[in-house]
Amino acid sequence: MKALAKFSYVAVVLSLISCKIAPQEIQYGTDMCHSCQMTIVEQTHASQIVTKKGRAYKYDAIECMLQDLDKRDVSSIALFLVTDYTKPTTLINAKEATFLVSEEIKSPMGANLSAFSNREAIKVAGQQFNWNEINDYIQ
């Protein structure tokens, strides 16, 4: 009976750990984009969503994530994350980011879309958007 209790305790702990709502590390050069199936290589344009159940979906470009949202129940998503262009591999809250569409910064899927945590860090010409505006723009 004690063995069954221990097994149950371990099973509960493992299930709680596996459902943790947190970003997963992106393995550049290995992980595949959930939307276009290309290998995630560029450390300046990757993005990720994490569902309320803790499942992470990784994308090679912000535009891939935004287009994939059309196929999902957005209310089931806990985290919307984009890479800060000025800090490669650093994921930031997409809802607080400033988005830039600029011919001077090429993104993997051709939308020339980048994200910045700080609007003052944008040093090139282009159109700037907030989260709601970029969702409308990419649709």
Question: DSSP characters for 71-136?
Answer: TS-GGGEEEEEEEBTTSTT-EEEGGG-EEEE-TTS--TTSS-EEEES-GGG--S--EEE-HHHHHH
Q: Which token pair is 6?
A: 């221990």
The residue type at 118: N
- Separation in Å, CA 124 to CA 9, 49, 92, 114, 129: 55, 27, 20, 11, 14
8 A C-beta contact, residue 114 and residue 106:
no
User: The pTM is what?
Assistant: 0.85
Q: Return the pLDDT at 94.
A: 98
3-class secondary structure, 2: helix
Query: Do strands 56-59 and 91-93 pair parallel, antiparallel, or not at all (unpaired)?
Result: unpaired
Each residue's pLDDT, cut to its tens digit, for the chain (139 residues) gives 666 566 666 655 555 555 689 999 999 999 999 999 999 999 999 999 999 999 999 999 999 999 999 999 999 999 999 999 999 999 999 999 999 999 999 999 999 999 999 999 999 999 999 999 999 998 7
